[in-house]
Amino acid sequence: MAQSYLHNTSRTAGAAAEVAADKKTAKYAPLVQTYVFVPIAVETMGAINSDGLEFLGNLGRRITQVTDDIRESAFLFQRLSVLIQRYNAVAIQGTFAHTTAEDDFYAVPAYLFLTFVFNPRNLYYRGYK
């Protein structure tokens, strides 16, 4: 929805996510030497870059194999969807002139992303090792 991406996104769905993923890859290039780095970029309306989508799909399949619950992959994407919706609500809310302490209560800090989407301890607490 940003004007800077309008030219690309009007032709190809997810183009802004691909551009953002490329920028993340360039920014975190030193990490590739030590870690497996997969950029995940999500557009405002939910389009995910191809590598990120593949990674999340593989993660969902692995969680399903460990838990034997075929719904786990769907749960992962549902959590991600809710996170995007909550972030969008916070971003829109930030455009209003007046906010109250109650409004700040519902704000979602970005660092909660991995905890909200997937926390490996959840598997441990369920008895999977």
pLDDT tens digits, one per residue of 86-112: 887 877 777 766 656 555 555 555 444
Q: What is the pLDDT of residue 25?
A: 93
Query: Stretch 3-18: mean pLDDT, rounded?
Result: 69
Q: What angle do CA 37, 59, 84 make, to 5 degrees?
A: 80
Q: What is the pLDDT of residue 113?
A: 45
The pLDDT tens digits for 64-81 are: 999 999 999 999 999 888
Count of all residues that appear for the chain in the document: 129
Residue 48 pairs in a beta bridge with 42
C-alpha–C-alpha distance, residues 39 and 15, integer Å? 14
Encoding tokens for residue 71? 């719904």
Instruction: Specify whether the CB–CB gap between 39 and 53 falls below 8 A.
Output: no
Check: pTM over 0.85? Answer yes or no: no
Encoding tokens for residue 7? 């030219």
C-alpha–C-alpha distance, residues 45 and 73, integer Å? 20
